[in-house]
Amino acid sequence: MSTEASATPATLHDCLLGDSRGQAVLFVPKQSYMSTMKKLVDDRFEMCVDLTAVDFLTHASRSLPDGIAAERFEIVVNLLSLSKRERLRVRVQVSESDPNIDSLFDLYPGTEAMEREVFDMFGISFVGHPDLTRILMPEDWQGHPLRKDYAQGRIPVQFKGAAS
């Protein structure tokens, strides 16, 4: 009688490791985000190329690995190791009821503007950010334009030379 060995999912720093079109994708729980990111810096992922967010309001049933609970928002961080010539995408689920996550500013100072943009467009706060203020919209703007529940056409279009 043969017993088939169950395939153990790949992990890195106790987080699920997947693949998307040849690029490694690490699914990090929100509570271990900062500790995992520090380990990735130690692993020589010395550059944060991009940090953004996705609102999955209309795609709640998207495909995620077993053990990863889908939330409305997802933070996506793209890291680069110049010394190892590797890329790594980090995905973190962020709930609508608690839209905040630790800031990467102390590890990657270049994320300062990227985190401000995510805050401005999605309303996700970055705990420990040195200046978490709007960067694209006026300071007195109400709402977050890249959220899927933000009303279309709410931003008035002004044409040069048109009577106001």
Centroid of chain to Cα 64: 15
Neighbours of 137 (CB within 10 A): 14
| pLDDT tens, per residue, the chain with 164 residues | 444 555 788 999 999 999 999 999 999 999 999 999 999 999 999 999 999 999 999 998 898 999 999 999 999 999 999 999 999 999 999 999 999 999 999 999 999 999 999 999 999 999 999 999 999 999 999 999 999 999 876 566 667 776 65
Q: Provide the residue type at 86 as one letter.
A: E
Ranges of beta strands (E only) in 7-156 are 11-12, 15-20, 23-27, 47-55, 73-81, 86-94, 100-102, 125-127
Q: Residue 123 corresponds to which tokens in the numbers above? A: 């309303």
CA 111 to chain centre: 11
At 41, give phi and psi (nearest 5°). -65, -45
Residue 160 has what pLDDT?
72
Whether the CA torsion 7, 71, 40, 23 is positive or negative: it is: positive
pLDDT of residue 164: 57
Q: Tokens 């040195």 map to which residue?
A: 130
Pure H helices in 2-157: 33-42, 112-122
User: Which domains are assigned to the chain?
Assistant: 11-127 (3.30.460.80)
**How far, CA to CA in Å, does 160 sit from each of 138, 152, 156?**
19, 22, 13
